[in-house]
Structure 1
Amino acid sequence: MTDCLFCRIVAGEIPATLVAETDRVIAFRDITPKAPVHVLVVPKTHVANVTEAAAQIPDVLAEMVAVAQQVADAECGGEFRLVFNSGEAAGQSVFHAHAHVMGGKHLAWEDA
């Protein structure tokens, strides 16, 4: 998808600070972090949201969670919040499925 920000990051057209990568998933730092550790985990396949990912690429969704754990193990003692926003009203601004890995401090519910 040529107009998708995350597809362009996956393609290497837009720079990002990569944290982890597999054949099917990339993880990079959020440009507006909400916690000391704030990394986005993104499937390389374009799907609009987590529900589509679960229906169309469930094995990649599971891999996204595994990569999230790897990031958390490396950067915040293995403890983290994993957030998927699905839809504009829920805060999704890029309509390519992605998980927010947040940690590095005690996160109150209000930090979500």
Structure 2
Amino acid sequence: MDCLFCSIIAGDIPSRTVASDDAAVAFLDVAPFQDGHTLVVPRRHVPDLLGNDGELARIAPLVTSVSTLLVERLGAQGINVISNVGEVAGQSVFHLHVHLIPRFEAEPGFDAIRSQRPRRDPDEVLALLR
């Protein structure tokens, strides 16, 4: 199987890991919409939310704990939790993943999900989250 996220989980491709547990790994997105934009992916390969056989429920604790971490450590006022299903919905890696996108008062609403402000260095963001 040739899956980018499986390779990241296996340690074959480097990532900026925020947290992990027995069910999932959370790492910073390489093309973030906002500082701290994190992906939570199950360790087990499943293609998406619809074909996940309960995997979403197994990764939910990490989704919750990392969401809390992002809000507390980055000073976000909210967070978007998104999972794209299918190419038409914007899914580009066909391994279930949940986007956690911190949101800030300066850019409210779904239309401003992709920040126009300059991004911080990802290593700086990761240091705040560890």
Superposition TM-score, scaled by structure 2 size = 0.73
Q: Percent identity?
A: 36
Alignment gaps of 5+ in structure 1: none
Question: CA contact under 8 A between 1:37 and 1:75: conserved in structure 2?
Answer: no
Question: CA contact under 8 A between 2:29 and 2:37: conserved in structure 1?
Answer: yes
Corresponding residue of 1:75: 73
The residue type equivalent to 2:44 in the other structure is T
> CA distance change for structure 1 residues 61 and 52 in 2, over 3 Å: closer, same or farther?
farther
Counterparts of 1:30-109 in structure 2 under 5 Å? 30-53=29-52, 55-77=53-75, 79-106=78-105, 107-109=108-110
Aligned residue-pair number: 110
Aligned alpha-carbon RMSD (Å): 2.0
> CA distance change for structure 1 residues 32 and 58 in 2, over 3 Å: closer, same or farther?
closer
Take 1:44 and 1:12, find their aligned partners in 2: how far apart are those partners? 12
Name whichever of 70-79 and 94-103 sits farther off. 70-79
Q: Deviations over 1:18-70 (max 9, x none)?
A: 000101110000000011220000000000001222x3435314234334434
Query: In terms of Rg, which structure is larger?
Result: 2
Stretches (4+) displaced over 2 A = 55-59, 61-79
Per the alignment, in what secondary structure is the counterpart of residue 7 of structure 1? helix
